[in-house]
């Protein structure tokens, strides 16, 4: 577990050693394990945690209000332990992509290409089914103010 923003200050910092993505886990799993099944299980757990997180905040209109034609990018940091349990570490509303470094540069490019395809080109089905972008829809609700007094948000 490391904080990249702080680690880069160390003269001995080695990006390949500290910066990993989910697919890098293959290299750390025992040869006899079905690596693809384990990675899919981890992805499923990440998706479930992400859905649960956004569901928990769906009525917090000052924090989270998904609207049609709009998008927000959040940075979610997860930790996976040796028994493949997944824990949410933190959520960054407005992640700093400069901290990802060179190693994850292509991943960030894919994120923005996919995001543009979703919101500008409006190609949600093609984008979600594309091997290039690897998006998974985990939350699909629009903000609703119907539960608020008077049927809408009001300034007090």
Q: How far is CA 37 from CA 15, 22, 33, in A?
A: 27, 13, 9
Q: Is 127 exposed, middle or buried (0-12, 13-18, 19+ CB in 10 A)?
A: buried
What is the structure's pLDDT at 69?
A: 66
Name the 3-class secondary structure at 48: helix
Q: How far is the CA of 31 from the CAs of 20, 22, 25, 38, 140, in angstroms?
A: 19, 17, 12, 12, 37
- Check residue 31 and report its DSSP letter: T
Q: In this structure, what token pair is assigned to residue 75?
A: 């940075």
**Matching residue, tokens 């924090």:** 63
Task: Look at residue 93 in the predicted model and tell me its pLDDT.
Answer: 82
pLDDT in tens, 104-156: 888 888 888 888 877 777 655 555 555 556 678 888 877 665 444 444 444 44
79 membership: H or E segment, kind and range = strand 74-80
* 52 token code pair: 């649960």
Provide the pLDDT for residue 124: 58
Task: Please answer whether residues 29 and 38 qualify as being in contact, where contact means their C-beta atoms are separated by less than 8 angstroms.
Answer: yes
Comparing CA positions, the residue from 131, 101, 125, 127 lying closest to residue 116 is 127
pLDDT in tens, 39-96: 999 999 999 999 999 888 887 777 777 776 677 888 888 889 989 999 999 888 878 7
Rounded distance between C-alpha atoms, residue 82 and residue 25, angstroms: 11
Structure pTM?
A: 0.76
């Amino acid at each position: 577990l490391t904080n990249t923003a702080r680690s880069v200050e160390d003269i001995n910092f080695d990006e390949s050693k500290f910066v990993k993505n989910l697919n890098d886990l293959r290299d750390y799993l025992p040869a006899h394990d079905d690596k693809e099944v384990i990675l899919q299980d981890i992805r499923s757990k990440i998706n479930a945690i992400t859905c649960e997180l956004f569901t928990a905040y769906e009525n917090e209109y000052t924090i989270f209000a998904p609207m049609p034609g709009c998008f927000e990018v959040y940075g979610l940091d997860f930790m996976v332990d040796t028994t493949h349990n997944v824990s949410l570490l933190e959520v960054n509303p407005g992640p700093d992509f400069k901290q990802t470094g060179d190693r994850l540069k292509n991943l960030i490019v894919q994120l923005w290409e996919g995001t543009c395809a979703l919101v500008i080109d409006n190609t949600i089905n093609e984008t979600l089914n594309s091997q290039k972008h690897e998006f998974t829809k985990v939350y699909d609700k629009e903000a609703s103010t119907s539960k608020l007094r008077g049927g809408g948000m009001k300034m007090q």
